[in-house]
Amino acid sequence: MRALILVMDSVGIGGGPDAELYGDRGADTVGHIAEACARGAADNGRRKGPLAIPHLVALGLGEACRLATGRVPPALGGPVHSQAVFGCASELSKGKDTPSGHWEIAGVPVPFEWGYFPKTTPCFPNDLVERLCGETGIHGIIGNCHASGTAIISELGERHMRSGEPICYTSADSVFQIAAHERTFGLERLYSVCAVARRLVDPLNIGRVIARPFIGSAATNFRRTGHRRDFSVPPPGQTILDYAADDGRDIVSIGKIDDIFSHRGTGRNRRGDGNDALFDCTLDAIDELADGGLLFANFIDFDTLYGHRRDIAGYAAALEQFDRRVPELLSRLQADDLLIITADHGCDPTWSGTDHTREQVPILVRVRDRAGAIGKRNGFSDIAATVARHLVLPVGTQGTPF
């Protein structure tokens, strides 16, 4: 009897009840991708035609979209498996960022507002920059603005390699991001600079400092690597991971889960460069996961490679590739395992800007002797409550099991 939580990062299914407060009324990541595919607007060399994700549809994704928006997106209609449980959930946490979404999935909604950097250039306080340089020995920083990560590396990467000054930037999220070349600057040196920055931004209530290493020799071939690392603040309460760890359960975290939870209760971590590699890690970990164990995985490509870059065709292709591997996942399940596939927020590639979108998320479940709809859930913490009940873990009162 084990539990698995798989987070399809940013795969939202329609604006939440409060989406208008975030400028996201009408956002719908899955729905808008499916509509674009249906009219041929997402055809390219990687994929063509209507969105083809039959295994996620069989788990209830189309019906979860119906619950969230009142409609089933094009090509997502079809029968739901007799052992599938499906629903949708609206976020309670303030914000639409990665830590808030994951922490709430794990049973700890975020009741406070994060700190953000202003949309000015420069955007970082002078004393923060001075202290960062003084404590790390770097001569200065470049960037110091709101930017797309790939764009600013292309723009400033060569200058960075000549000067040795790291590229520092932020976004609409509560983040301080530092990009540096893995070879000319050094990966471990980048991590050490980020560790200092993490301490310095704590008084500003910044959620994450993110190391963004890249390789290449010029703007035409710079590429971010899979050695990204997030320096997050710890969750403000006990998560399902903490409760499982306290009870001595076997825990495996996949991808950036350990960073998101500040390495607290995350057990053995496995990383991979991209969704397919992360899927391989997940399958291997399932084979090793002990009875009573918990696996928590994040699949990052949807968000980082396609959502933020507003690449509709790429996002559609990523969904289809993930779907093709779902049968491998289901074949690894034992009879009494609980599988939950969900998301942490949206990142509608048809939306303006490059930010996340405030959306409802799907809850797709496979568990023995259960089937049907669980309706619209008020908060993501019902996921943690359900996992706790399945694993017979003593937990707090946040969330209602479904």
pLDDT tens, residue by residue, 289-328: 999 999 999 999 999 999 999 999 999 999 999 999 999 9
For the chain, residues with pLDDT lower than 50 are none
Helix runs in 39-140, H state only: 54-58, 61-69, 98-105, 126-136
Burial class (CB in 10 A: 0-12, 13-18, 19+), 188: exposed
Q: Find out whether 15 and 357 touch, Cβ atoms under 8 Å.
A: yes
Q: Where are the beta strands (DSSP E) in 156-207?
A: 167-170, 175-181
Which among 346, 119, 99 has a CA at the least distance from the CA of 231? 99
| Cα 288 to Cα 322: distance, rounded to the nearest angstrom | 22
Which among 165, 180, 172 has a CA at the least distance from the CA of 145? 172
Q: What pLDDT does residue 46 have? A: 83
| Cα 29 to Cα 183: distance, rounded to the nearest angstrom | 37
pLDDT tens, residue by residue, 45-83: 889 999 999 999 999 999 999 999 999 999 999 999 888
Rg (CA), the chain: 21
What is the 8-class DSSP label of residue 184?
I
What is the amino acid identity at position 235?
P
| Cα 8 to Cα 303: distance, rounded to the nearest angstrom | 9
Residue 393 Cα to chain centre, angstroms: 25
List of domains in the chain:
3-19+55-112+236-299+327-341+348-391 (3.40.720.10), 126-229 (3.30.70.1250)
Helix (H, G, I), strand (E, B) or coil at 202: helix
Helix (H, G, I), strand (E, B) or coil at 359: strand
What is the 8-class DSSP label of residue 20?
G
Q: Find out whether 164 and 139 touch, Cβ atoms under 8 Å.
A: yes
| Cα 206 to Cα 118: distance, rounded to the nearest angstrom | 12
Q: Find out whether 194 and 208 touch, Cβ atoms under 8 Å.
A: no
Q: What pLDDT does residue 159 have? A: 97
Q: What pLDDT does residue 345 have? A: 97
* Structure-token pair, residue 190: 């980048």
Q: What pLDDT does residue 260 have? A: 95
